Structure 1
C-alpha cells in the first residue's frame, strides 16, 4: 500500500477576490486550486519532470462549505489521489484553521512541454507523491 503525501499551500486573499456580498467569490476558489495543485507538482516532482511536463485542468467539482473573508488565513491541502495514463486525480481541502471552507475534486491532464500532447508520467516520477505504508499498517 501507499499513502499520498499531503501538500499544504497557503492562500493569499486579494481584495479583488471579494464579491458584492463581502466574501470571496466562488470563481477565486478555482484559481486557488490551480495554484495549489501546480505548487504540489513543483514541490514534489523531480526538477527534470517539472521542466518536461505541463498540466491542464480537465474538471473541478467544488463543494462550498463556508464563506471565506479577506482577512482569513487559509490553507489548501492537496492530495494526489491517483494517476491513470496521462490523467491525475486530486483532492484539495481548503481550510481556515480546522474549519473546512471548500472541498474540491479535480482531474488534470499531463502535457509534454515540447509536443503539447498528453503524456504519461513515469512510475519513478509518480512515486515522489506517495510513501510506502509501514508493514502491518492497515488502510
Structure 2
C-alpha cells in the first residue's frame, strides 16, 4: 500500500512532563491516538464518520530519545496496510529542530459499524481515501 503521510506539529506543554523531566510515555500514546483521529477526520466526510468508528486492538511503541518541555515535535502517521476490518497505522514522532526520531509506533485498528459496534470490512470507499 502506498499511502500518504499525514502530519501535525505540537509544542510539548509542561503538563506532558513527568518526574524525570521529559515527556511521560502515556502522553506519547495520547498523541498517537490524537494524530490518527485528526487524519481520519481530515480525510473523511461527516457521513462516513457517522457510519463507522475505529477501535484499537494493540499498540507497539518504541522510545528512541526523550522530548522535553517546549520541544516542537512533528507527528507523522500513515496507513501501512489493511485487510478485512483491520488496518495497521504507523506513527513517527520527530523533534522538528534536528529531525531526530523521538518515538515510533505501530497500531492495529479495527473498523466497526458505529450503530452496532460490530467489525466491518474496510471497503474501497474508505481505503481509497488513505
TM-score by length of 1: 0.86
**Which residues of 2 match residues 26-41 of structure 1 at below 5 A?**
26-41=25-40
Alignment RMSD, CA only? 1.3
- Correspondence for 2:116: 115
Matched position secondary structure for 1:4: coil
Matched position secondary structure for 1:3: coil
Whole-angstrom CA distance in 1 between matches of 2:117 and 2:82: 19
TM-fit CA distance, 1:13: 2.8
- Correspondence for 1:96: 95
TM-fit CA distance, 1:117: 1.0
- Correspondence for 1:47: 46
TM-fit CA distance, 1:15: 2.1
Whole-angstrom CA distance in 2 between matches of 1:11 and 1:116: 32
- Correspondence for 2:77: 78
| 1:10-66 deviation digits (Å, cap 9, x = unpaired) | 235332211001010111111010001111111112332122111111111111111
Contact 1:11 1:32 in 2 (8 A): no
Whole-angstrom CA distance in 2 between matches of 1:11 and 1:82: 26
- Correspondence for 2:10: 11
Matched position secondary structure for 2:12: coil
Whole-angstrom CA distance in 2 between matches of 1:4 and 1:62: 21
Whole-angstrom CA distance in 2 between matches of 1:53 and 1:90: 17
Contact 2:23 2:68 in 1 (8 A): yes
Number of residue pairs aligned between Structure 1 and Structure 2: 128
TM-fit CA distance, 1:7: 0.2
- Correspondence for 1:25: 24
- Displacement over 4 Å in runs of 4+: none
Whole-angstrom CA distance in 1 between matches of 2:124 and 2:55: 20
- Correspondence for 1:127: 128
TM-score by length of 2: 0.92
Whole-angstrom CA distance in 2 between matches of 1:124 and 1:30: 28
